Amino acid sequence: MKAAEDAVNCIQKGDIAILKGLAKPPADVVMVTSVVCMFFGYKANKVKDEANPGKKVDDWWTPSKLLL
């Protein structure tokens, strides 16, 4: 638990700005920020699935950037 606290405490404002600027962040970043969104009651946006045009998928990155 202490290691996690230390990792969070070393995050700087510039690090958040870099994250917000990513058009397509790494999957691990999306996973973590989507959980934070869920925790705070944010909803995913529904967007067209590029691999399957007839379906929609959850887009967590857009609400994640708002939360950051």
Q: Model confidence over 7-54: pLDDT tens digits?
A: 889 999 999 999 999 999 999 999 999 999 999 999 999 999 989 989
CA pair distance 67, 22, nearest whole angstrom:
14
Model pLDDT, residue 32? 93
Model pLDDT, residue 22? 93
Query: Phi first, then psi: what are they for 45, rounded to 5°?
Result: -85, 145
pTM attached to this predicted model: 0.78
Q: Give residue limits of the domains in the chain.
A: 2-67
Model pLDDT, residue 39? 96
